[in-house]
């Protein structure tokens, strides 16, 4: 074949690829590969894609993102912002869209989800009303039972109810997450249900949930993270049951073993350690544990708020009224909607 014929054939192929890419829905997987075509069905567990005679089914837990043909640029940018944790940017972008900018029901559903989900994450960080954000996401959950975002929605609603101290409702939504057919989702859900049970002081039930996670035959980094989280949760339940010494030992082992880069786990660990010391009547040790969170892990709003609330009391107990007042003022200023403000 001559170079000219090769060049023509290559050009035709490239044009075909561009045409498919520009006029198609795209499913990008966590593994990095992606497929283009027309999405024909979406459920909470699967997404079906067709390209001519080729039909593919993708499990939702394997999907990183879905982009839709003819979706507005603001949605594409907002999706990227949400995955990067820039929730304020996502809301600003999506608020620019009007009804005329959305041509398909699937696109409208994605706009509604990302707008509500970003609002909830902002509210959990102390920026915005938890009640208003919750109403948005609750409306999405009711209207889109078949969304591929369904399990993300349930988890976020559970997180919101837990942050409001409504642990029984948090448990309900975490149990919906546990109904997902994938082992990694079940492990995470069991940890979250266990935490909600600790919040309800149902310590024996919580211990059973955490023990289920620890006994699970699951391998890999995510499974290891969930087992460390379950160990921390079990320590909180043990302390609630009066077994503070055993609980303290467990938390210290997690702190020593956990990846230093997993800062959120460390923040939670030091708060639980502080609570275990409080249960043991060791207030000075508890103060040091909560101070770790204030000084090193303040970027995690829920954990920081809990630490500040405890520090406001513990500094006063050691005759440091000025530091107690400073901790309370920081709590009131940074997290005015937090349940810890009134505890």
Q: Domain for residue 278, yes or no?
A: yes
d(CA 93, CA 96): 6
158 contacts 196 by C-beta, under 8 angstroms:
yes
Q: Domain for residue 301, yes or no?
A: yes
> Residue 291 belongs to a domain with what CATH number?
1.25.40.10
Average pLDDT, the chain: 91
Q: Domain for residue 339, yes or no?
A: yes
Q: What is the mean pLDDT of residues 119-136?
A: 92
Q: Domain for residue 295, yes or no?
A: yes
Q: Domain for residue 341, yes or no?
A: yes
| Range(s) of the domain holding residue 327 | 264-343
- 41 beta partners: 48
Q: pLDDT by residue (tens digit) across 92-116?
A: 999 999 988 898 999 999 999 999 9
Q: pLDDT by residue (tens digit) across 199-258?
A: 999 999 999 999 999 999 988 888 999 999 999 999 999 999 999 999 999 999 999 989
Number of domains in the chain: 1
Q: Domain for residue 313, yes or no?
A: yes
For the cut 90, the answer to whether the pLDDT of residue 336 exceeds it is no
Q: pLDDT by residue (tens digit) across 274-321?
A: 999 999 999 999 999 999 999 999 999 999 999 999 999 999 999 999
Q: Domain for residue 326, yes or no?
A: yes
CA 109 → CA 59, 95, 221, 318, distances in Å?
19, 14, 32, 53
Q: pLDDT by residue (tens digit) across 175-204?
A: 999 999 999 999 999 999 999 999 999 999
Q: Domain for residue 272, yes or no?
A: yes
């Amino acid at each position: 074949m001559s170079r000219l014929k090769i060049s023509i054939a290559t050009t035709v192929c490239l044009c075909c690829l561009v045409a498919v890419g520009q006029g198609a829905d795209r499913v990008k997987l966590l593994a990095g590969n992606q497929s283009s075509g027309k999405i024909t069905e979406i459920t909470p567990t699967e997404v079906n894609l067709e390209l001519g005679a080729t039909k593919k089914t993708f499990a939702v837990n394997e999907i990183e993102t879905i982009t839709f043909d003819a979706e507005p640029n603001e949605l594409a940018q907002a999706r990227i912002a949400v995955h990067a944790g820039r929730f304020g940017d996502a809301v600003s972008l999506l608020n620019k869209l009007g009804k005329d900018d959305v041509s398909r029901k699937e696109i409208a559903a994605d706009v509604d989800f990302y707008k509500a989900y970003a609002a909830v994450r902002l509210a959990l960080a102390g920026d915005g009303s938890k009640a208003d954000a919750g109403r948005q996401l609750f409306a999405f959950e009711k209207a889109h039972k078949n969304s591929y975002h369904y399990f993300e929605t349930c988890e976020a609603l559970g997180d919101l109810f837990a942050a409001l101290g409504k642990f029984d409702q948090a448990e309900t939504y975490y149990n919906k997450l546990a109904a997902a057919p994938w082992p990694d989702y079940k492990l995470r859900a069991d940890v979250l249900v266990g935490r909600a049970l600790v919040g309800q002081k149902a310590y024996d039930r919580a211990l059973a949930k955490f023990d289920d996670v620890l006994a699970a035959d699951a391998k890999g980094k995510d499974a290891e993270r969930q087992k460390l989280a379950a160990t921390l949760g079990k320590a909180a339940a043990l302390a609630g049951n009066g077994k503070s010494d055993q609980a303290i030992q467990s938390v210290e082992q997690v702190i020593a073993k956990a990846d230093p880069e997993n800062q959120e786990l460390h923040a939670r660990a030091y708060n639980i350690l502080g609570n275990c010391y409080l249960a043991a009547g060791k207030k000075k040790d508890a103060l040091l544990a909560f101070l770790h969170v204030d000084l090193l892990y303040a970027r995690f709003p829920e954990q920081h708020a809990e630490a500040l609330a405890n520090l406001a009391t513990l500094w006063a107990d050691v005759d440091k009224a000025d530091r107690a007042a400073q901790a309370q003022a920081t709590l009131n200023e940074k997290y005015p909607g937090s349940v810890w403000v009134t505890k």
